[in-house]
Structure 1
Amino acid sequence: MKNVLLLKAGDAAHSVRLSVGDYEHWFVETLAPTGCRFEIRHVHQGANLPGGAEGYDAVIMTGSPLSVTQLEPWMERAADFMLDAAAHRVPVLGVCFGHQLLAYAHGGRVVRNTHGREIGTVEVRLSEEGREDPLFDGVAERFAIQATHEDIVEPIPEGATVLAGNGNTAMQALAFGSHIRGVQFHPEVQPVAMRALILARAEKLEVEAVARGHLPGERVPRLLAGLAPSPSGRRILQNFVEHFT
């Protein structure tokens, strides 16, 4: 049994929670059958962090509707905790917001993506280093995955290795040494949850699309029609637990 500390960094929209659960549910649903036991800390709500990570086999930080560009004290504390965990050889995985916070903790910058919001099922391509990294063991060089974010890491933090990217986001996955990995996409999200996320943001997505010169009423139906299975997400999370702990 693997003991995983899940740092919850935000809450999904009410409509999403009602239909498909909240962020932590998606990680538990994916990894619990593989023999993981979760302790969940709602750090965005001020929950205390453990005195250290030595009692855990892994630490994972979720995504969040909040932004690293607007730092709050709890974010700084969580970043320090994750760095300390890795220093004690406890593997750390940051997802979306968690990925960005880890980049910030390593001296990187988080900015609003000039290419616009990435949301829906997207294709990501592994770099040469990514193809050799155990996080992507058994994952095709090009794979479909769910994503939703406006912020990105830019430029590459000093000492980081780019493991994956695409046309929207050059740093879809980063390695920080041997014990820290970050992914901008959402390996824990399945199409049914992504559909709920798109519908919850439909009005905002329409406004963004029109502002970028698209015809009204086009973007949301196109995103929903493009949803596709993303089995690589489950494999990536399982690889993290199996190969890093």
Structure 2
Amino acid sequence: MKAIKVAILDLYDGHPNQGMRGFKEILDRYKAKHNLNLVYQVFDVRGKAEVPDLNFDAYISSGGPGSPVDSEGSVWEQRYWELIDKITACNQQADSVKKHVFFVCHSFQLMCRRLQLGEISLRHSPSFGVLPVHQTALGRQEVIFEGLHDPFYAVDSRSWQVTHPDEDNLKKYGAVLLAIEKERPYVDYPRAMMAIRFNDYFFGTQFHPEANPVGMKAHLINEEKKQQVISEHGERKYDEMIERLEDPGMIRLTQSTMIPNFLDQAILSMQEA
């Protein structure tokens, strides 16, 4: 059985996180469920400027801390864009096996910045919690959302945002806005873009579809983390997040749906080729 190779692009720059564990768990579960010869390799993009070659079938690019603006021109980001450009060129060849990329949170912001699809800015206050994500009309036709409710729930953890979609550039690149954040009628803030299909093979989310409710809960009930969350966001927000983590129709559904649907697409491309 031919190996299916997945590259995980780690943009956490050595910071403690739940994301990398989430990606690995999804891939391990997908491999076992479908009895596949699936292998994956992690590349420390920001810490060591490591990037994979084109000998992978799918790529998952993680979230990460800090500004998605200040890294412009850095060595690691230059190498990152060289990889994305090579994948793009490969996908544009008529007889090539198409390579799919999933961009999460920080990676999503980088792509939006590069393609100028909206305004990149610091939020008025950090977003943190298990929050509803609303699909657009086109989002309801998106295969990666198949099996999710509308709205669906996802872990949102970010200080930055992408707002004010640039319709001209979306059209220029053939990108489609698929989801936006919850409406907040009591404050005069724009709704952030939460998911975009950049093209037939590139897909991205502002939230964390890899989040594991068990791991997240274990992380949050740690006394130090609990007090940090309560200090920053309030006890009510903390209690709400714990409650939503335990609801099987919220993040558990999102984690078991989106990236597996993405992998289905990537593997279908291989089979068609």
Band the TM-score falls in, shorter-chain normalisation: 0.7 to 0.9
Task: Go from structure 1 to structure 2 and tell me whether the alpha carbon gap of 1:141 and 1:113 turns closer, same or farther (over 3 Å shift).
Answer: same
Contact preservation (8 Å) 2:14, 2:47: no
* Distance change (3 Å), C-alpha of 1:207 and 1:76: farther
Counterpart in the other structure of 2:87? 85
**Cα distance in 1 between the residues matched to 2:236 and 2:111:** 35
Distance 1:155 1:79, change over 3 A: farther
Does 1:220 find its partner at 2:267? no
Looking at structure 2, the residues matched to 95 and 144 of structure 1 have their Cα atoms a distance apart, in angstroms, of 15
Q: Which has the larger radius of gyration?
A: 2
2:26 aligned residue (27, 30, 39): 30
> Is structure 2 residue 133 aligned with structure 1 residue 124?
yes
- Structure 1 runs (4+) deviating above 6 angstroms are none
CA contact (8 A) 1:125 1:165 kept: yes
Whether the 8 Å CA contact 1:12–1:23 is kept in 2: the answer is no
Q: Please, which of 8, 11, 36 is the counterpart of residue 10 of structure 2?
A: 8
Is 1:110 aligned to residue 132 of structure 2? no
- TM-score normalised over the length of structure 1: 0.82
1:180 to 181, 188, 202: 202
**Identity, % of aligned pairs?**
23
1:118 Cα offset (Å): 2.2
When residues 43 and 234 of structure 1 are mapped into structure 2, their CA distance, relative to the original with a 3 A threshold, is same
Q: Aligned pair count?
A: 230
Corresponding residue for residue 19 of structure 1? none
Cα shift readout 1:203-228 (whole Å, capped 9, x = no counterpart): 5544544xxxxxx6443334323433
Change (3 A) 1:62 1:176: same
Match for 2:182 among 154, 167, 171?
Answer: 167
CA distance in 2, matches of 1:98, 1:193: 22
CA contact (8 A) 1:5 1:38 kept: yes
Which consecutive unaligned segments of at least 5 residues does structure 2 have?
Answer: 32-37, 92-98, 184-190
Structure 1 unaligned blocks of 5 or more: 17-21, 210-215
Q: Distance in 1 between matches of 2:10 and 2:212?
A: 18
- Matched-pair contact (CA < 8 Å) for 1:59–1:82: no
CA distance in 2: counterparts of 1:27 and 1:87, whole angstroms: 26
Say which SS state the counterpart of residue 138 (structure 2) adopts.
helix
The match for 2:186 is: none
Q: Which residue of 2 aligns with 1:43?
A: 45
What is the CA distance between 1:95 and its match in structure 2? Answer: 0.7
1:62-77 to 2 correspondences below 5 Å: 62-71=62-71, 73=74, 74-77=76-79
What SS does the corresponding residue of 1:32 show, helix, strand or coil? helix
Amino acid in the other structure paired with 1:64: G
CA RMSD of aligned residues (A): 2.5
| TM-score normalized by the length of structure 2 | 0.74
Change (3 A) 1:140 1:12: farther
